[in-house]
Each structure stands twice: as structure tokens, then as C-alpha cells.
A and B are shown apart, each in its own frame.
Chain A
Amino acid sequence: MSVATHESGSPAQTTEPVLELTGIGKHFGAVQALAGVDFRVHPGEVVALVGDNGAGKSTLVKIMSGVYQADSGRMRVEGREVHVHSPSAAQSLGIATVFQDLALCDNLDVVGNLFLGSELGSNAWMDEVAMEKESWRLLRELGAKIPTVRIPVASLSGGQRQTVAIARSLVGSPKVVMLDEPTAALGVAQTAEVLNLVERLREQNLGVVLISHNMADVQAVADRIVVLRLGRNEAEFRTVDVTTEQLVAAITGASDNVVAERHARRVPPATETGEVEA
């Protein structure tokens, strides 16, 4: 399997990738979740990672965030080869993750969740005042609407919880933020708010990895779209060059027939930007 390369278009593409993975493999027992997957994200770029259920998206995110270790392949942060053996190692490398289940602690308040694992203070002693101030600053920066930072997150709405989880990823000034299905459980208005947050992250020149099932969301905010299928790179597109039909075809694997044929007929290969091969 090979993936089409493109002429560099957006400014992000001309910079060095902030995070780059090559030849990543991972299996769970007999299940080959990932095989030879390449992935990269540049500063100030939103890369969408799409694929059918079980394509390996969450597994790839968990490898990048140190929850799982890859069986094979390399990972580079700003060109330097790294080994991410734990979530805290990923954090200290500047890789932050908003997990699909948000990983919030319901019994802790917003401040407690935002700084969980990276509390402010000296040694074991926490500085609650500093954390509360910093919490408000983070939330304001994101334009987030949270009534108070001193209530348990259990009593927040779904969108507010997602906001808290995203704000939490910004504690410790990361270089890359990964969001696993951030809008899956949200209504229309709350989804729009989360997409706004994603654009704020890009404005701050962070590399953003967005996993989503929703093609409309992906096409609304992503600069580049990487399609995984059955644990392999299936295709890669620049968002401006791709139609929803092409995306869906790549995701479902229909690319080797109808869509590919249409594609081949429509445009000469030289200007091809999102070529798909089986």
C-alpha cells in the first residue's frame, strides 16, 4: 500500500512536522490493529484521522499518547526520535490527548480535573489559588462557557465536560493536541462550540489531531485528512481537494472500484491531490 504525496500547499506543510510516526505496527493478540502506519502533523495544522469502526484510530492515538507501546515503527517529536513509554512521558514531550471517554474524574471539581497529574504548588503541597486563577485564564482563552470552576464535573453538561477535557489538554503548554471523537456525544450547538475550540488551538500554532466519524465536522475544520482502513493508511487528502463522496469511499474501501474509476476518468494524474490505491 502506498499513499499519494502532494505538492505542499498550506504554510503548515512547509514546516517540519511537530509529530511524525513512521511504520507503526501494533497487535492485540491475533488482532493486527495497526500495520505500517505513517502519520504526521505540523504546527498550526489540523489533521483529521478518519476511518471506520475498528480501523485503528483510537489505537494510534493511544500509541502517540503513551497509553500503548507500538510493536514496530518510529516516532519523532520536532525531528528528534522519542520513545513514549507512559502517558506522563507523552505529556512531558508536549503531546496532550483528549480521550474518547474524556478521562475526567466526576468527583473532582473543574480545577481538580484541569490540573490532575500536573498540580501547581511546591512538591506535594497544592496551590489551589494559583490553580484556580490559571483555570479561569485557560477557559477564557478558549472562550469557554463554564459557570464555576468549583463544582464537580459530574454536574456539567456534555459540552461543558468536553470543554473541560480540552482545556485540560492545554495545561503544560503542549505542542500537539489530539482529540478522539470530541463531538460524538454532542448536540448541534455544542458541536459547533467544540469546533470553534479546535480552531482556537490551531490559531495558537498547535498541531491538532482530530478523530471523527462526522465528515461534516472533519471538512469544516481539518486542513488535511488521513484515512485509516483495517489498520493501514488508506488515503490522504487535503480538505480543499476532496469531496465527501471520495472520503466515504476511502473509508469504506469502495475506492478500488466506483470512486477510483470516476477519479481516474475525471482528472489527469499530474494535478491529482488525493489519489487512492487499494
Chain B
Amino acid sequence: MAPVSTARLGRLAPPLALVVIWLVMTLINPRFLSAVNLTNLMLQIVAVGAVAVAVVLVLLIGEIDLSVGAVSGLGAGVTAVLSVKQDWPAVLAIIAGLLTGALVGLLHATIVTRVGVASFVVTLAGLLTWQGALQLVLGETGTVNLDDPQLVAIAGTFLSPALGWLIAAVITAAAVAAVVVHLRADRPRRVWPWVLAGTVAPVAVLVFNADRGVPLAVVVFLLLLAGGDVVMRRTTLGRHAVATGSNASGARRAGIAVDRIRMTVFALASVLAVTGGILAASRLLAVNQSSGSTDLMLTAVAAAAIGGASLFGGRGTVWSALLGALVVGSLANGLDLLGASSAIRLIATGVVLALAVGLDTVAHRAERQPFTEHSRPGR
């Protein structure tokens, strides 16, 4: 097989896997495709999805962050305690939680860049440390129930049908405009992402409106993704992050302050992780000791990898987080509907992860073998 098509297969596999899972789940239990269940599915994945975005960013610069789960719990814990026990207004409590994340990320990155310890180890130590810190923050009872109406509203709010349609209309209009501009440009550009966004948006709103409406948490998650995508593809920060993950010494010789990029990305990732933690807390109506669980980290890392973020660094987009979270979430949701045990869910997720990472490895190897007349593979 030509390496080019192997590489392409690597990129097409995650969306294909999602389609297959949805087909199979629907065939076995048509309720999977109901508006209620799809809305629930989206509500289930936003927290993991936000944490997966954090993982994608760190993978892009060629590092790993095993502390994202613990940090998301710690940040949410800080927010919850300040809101409930100190009566801080919701916005300030959230900002304090996010700042906690930023500081933790900067601390990790400082140890990675200044001392030179591998991020794997630094963030493993972070995982333990911040889980302990969360227990300290939560105090004796080990759990803090949210009572602030605004904090609760983040995951509990559904937009009115009209507002939902307005959002869909804006997205579709923007997509049409983008497609027209791209097709008129003298050099061809990829239009399919816009075509996809323009068609999915109204369908999604149709489904959400058939249930309770578009969840605010989903809007927050999508804004996070869109913002992250713009930063990664349109700004020098994103370009330099990919360069760092692709070839750190080359990036340094190109004049890029590689360590500063690492600091920024680790801080950003921890802030995103806390965002996921706050989304989860708002849905749970509480922060407890299992908020920063390793399970969340493992699921997020799996989602990022399944969605197409390469463990070799430098490859992947923030949309990988959405795709991977959808795959993992759909598996869990569908198997739940079937009444399958958590053992089956773990095994299924594990198998999909192994397949995804296997494909990534094959695609990685294929990309390194340029297909030219001098090096045509074959016998």
C-alpha cells in the first residue's frame, strides 16, 4: 500500500469509527438516536472533551500531561469552596479556579524546561500532588455541594428554540460565506470543514430543540474548540507549538523561544482542564474527592489519541478532542443503553484506543518515507 494512503487512512479512521459506532448502536437500540439520548450524550462529553482539548495541546508540543484530571478537580474544588464557603460571586470564584490551573501549569512547565525533567514524570508527580491538594481544599467532609445559581446554570441551562435557531443560522451563514470566499480565491483551499459545519449546525439544533433545547454547556465547549482552533491555526503561537512538537531543536534554531512556548501551552492546557472540571462540577452539582480522578485523565488522553492527536507530537487539531470525546462518549452511552457492564465499556474503549494508536504509529512511519522515484517502496 502506498504510504500516502496509509497516512490518509490514519486521518479518516476516527470519523469512520464514529459513524460505525453510531450505526451499530442505533441498529441494536434505536433509542440511541433519540433527541433525549443525543442531548444527554453531548452533556456527558463536554467535560471530558474540554480536558481532551488540554491533552491535545500538550501532545502537539510533543509532551504529555498526566495531571489534567487532578488539576481539573483542584481548580473546580477551589471554585466550589470559594463560592460555597467564602460566598464569592460565581465569576470571581471561576476566575480563581482558572488562575489556580494557570499557576499549576506554569509550575509543571518550569520544572520541565528549567530542570529538564520529562513531562511524563513531572505531571505524574503533579497528579498525586494535586489530588492530595484537592482533598485538603475540600476539607473534612470531602465534598462541597454547589448552591450558587450561576454555577449551577452552566450545565443546567438550555437555550430557547429561537436562540438555538439563531445560532444555527449564524454558523450556516458564516459557512456559506467562507465557502464562497474560498472557492473564489485564486488558490484552492479546503472547503469541506465549512460545508460540514454549515450542515451539522442546523441538524444539531433540530435535534436539541426536539428535546430541551441547545445546552449552554455545549455552546461553551464549541466556543472553546473554535477559539482553540483559531489560535492553533492562525496565530504564531499555534504555529510555533506545532513546530516545537515536530522538531524542537529545529524550532529553536529558527529563532523560536521553545521554552516560552512550552510554558504557555502547559498553562493554557491546565486552564482548559479546570474549565472541564467546572463544567463537570456544574453538572454534578458538587465537587468531591473523585472529581480529580485518574479515570477522567485516562478517558481524556484516550479521547485525544483516538481523535487523531499524535503521541509523536506535532500532529492533531483541537477538533481531535471533539471527535475522540464523541467516540469514547458514544461507546459508553450506547453500551449503557444496552445495559452492558462497565467491564465491557472498559474493554471496548481499550480496544478502540489500541486500534487508534496503532494506526497513528503506522501513519507516522509512512509519513517519514517520502514517496519519490528514488525511494519507491516495493519489491
Contact = CB atoms under 8 A, between A and B. Distances in A.
Given A154-B368, A157-B370, A107 B245 contact: yes
B250 A104 contact: yes
A108 interface: yes
Contact of A101 (B185, B250, B315): B250
Interface residues of A, number: 35
A87 B242 contact: no
Interface stretch (B39-47, B164-172, B199-207, B230-238): B230-238
A67 B253 CA distance: 7
Contacts of B242: 105, 107-108, 112
Interface stretch (B220-228, B318-326, B371-379): B371-379
Interface stretch (A49-57, A119-127, A200-208): A119-127
A53 B175 CA distance: 57
Given A99-B253, A107-B242, A118-B255, A157 B247 contact: no
Contacts of A118: 255
Contacts of B118: none
B252 A87 contact: yes
A156 interface: yes
B368 A108 contact: no
| Main SS at interface, chain A | loop
A156 B370 contact: yes
Nearest to A62: B253
A105 B236 contact: no
A31 interface: no
Contacts of A97: 253
A106 B245 CA distance: 10
A86 B255 contact: yes
A27 to B, nearest CB: 21
Contacts of A126: 234-236, 239
B251 interface: yes
Given A91-B255, A154-B367, A157-B372, A107 B250 contact: no
B246 interface: yes
Contact of A119 (B236, B253, B375): B236
Given A103-B250, A106-B247, A157-B372, 6 more contacts: A97-B253, A103-B253, A105-B251, A106-B246, A108-B239, A125-B234
19 contacts: A86-B255, A88-B255, A104-B250, A105-B246, A105-B247, A106-B314, A106-B368, A107-B246, A108-B246, A112-B239, A116-B243, A125-B235, A126-B235, A129-B185, A154-B367, A155-B7, A155-B367, A157-B372, A187-B374
